[in-house]
């Protein structure tokens, strides 16, 4: 299987494309899925999901803390979508303008802890402010 060369940002070991059941165990969550896992796993708890078809990494490798933060950031955006009746695409455009990033850079999977905190903060702020148009 073709894989890209990426390194673990924590320990600088290489990351290898492996079936998700290596990490998640044999269950529904791991079925047919792949992850880029740090070669030092499980001593180094860093991995990232791969896209189903292309098997390209969805972002940078993340440890437990960062994986959790990225999930929270996704929830915050989803919440904002529902709260404001926006489409996912619109929310991402809004996020780009807030963070000063382009569309290629605006992927939660590539965000650091700090960036995820920023996403969560901005979403909370936008959910609280009204009308939304003035907050953009």
The torsion angles phi and psi of 60, rounded to 5 degrees, stand at -90, 155
Helix H or strand E segment including 134: helix 132-135
For residues 43 and 128, which CB has a smaller minimum distance to Zn ion in the complex?
43
6 binds Zn ion, rule: CB under 5 A: no
67 binds Zn ion, rule: CB under 5 A: no
**Nearest approach, Cβ of residue 79 and Zn ion (Å):** 32
Instruction: Cite the DSSP H helix spans in 4-131.
Output: 21-24, 64-84, 88-99, 113-128
C-alpha 60/C-alpha 47 separation (Å) is: 8
C-alpha 114/C-alpha 62 separation (Å) is: 13
For residue 126, which of 117, 135, 118 has the smallest C-alpha distance? 135
> Residues in contact with Zn ion, total (CB under 5 A)?
8
Question: Among 3, 7, 11, 17, which residue sits at the site for Zn ion (rule: CB under 5 A)?
Answer: 11
Centre a 10 Å sphere on the Cβ of residue 59 and count the other Cβ atoms it contains.
Answer: 16
For residues 44 and 119, which CB has a smaller minimum distance to Zn ion in the complex?
44
In eight-state DSSP terms, residue 10 is: T
66 binds Zn ion, rule: CB under 5 A: no
Site for Zn ion in 32-61 (CB under 5 A): 38, 40, 44, 46
For residues 8 and 122, which CB has a smaller minimum distance to Zn ion in the complex?
8
**Nearest approach, Cβ of residue 9 and Zn ion (Å):** 8
For residues 10 and 132, which CB has a smaller minimum distance to Zn ion in the complex?
10
Residues making contact with Zn ion (CB under 5 A): 8, 10-11, 13, 38, 40, 44, 46
């Amino acid at each position: 299987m073709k894989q890209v060369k990426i390194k673990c940002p924590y320990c600088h070991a290489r990351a290898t494309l492996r079936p998700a059941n290596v990490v998640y165990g044999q269950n529904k969550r791991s079925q047919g899925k792949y992850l880029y896992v740090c070669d030092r796993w499980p001593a180094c708890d860093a991995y990232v999901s791969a896209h189903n078809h292309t098997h390209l990494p969805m972002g940078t490798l993340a440890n437990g803390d960062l994986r959790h933060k990225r999930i929270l950031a996704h929830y915050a955006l989803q919440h904002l979508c529902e709260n404001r009746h926006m489409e996912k695409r619109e929310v991402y455009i809004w996020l780009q303008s807030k963070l000063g990033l382009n569309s290629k850079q605006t992927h939660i999977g590539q965000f650091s802890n700090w960036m995820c905190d920023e996403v969560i903060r901005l979403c909370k702020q936008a959910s609280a402010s009204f009308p939304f148009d003035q907050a953009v």
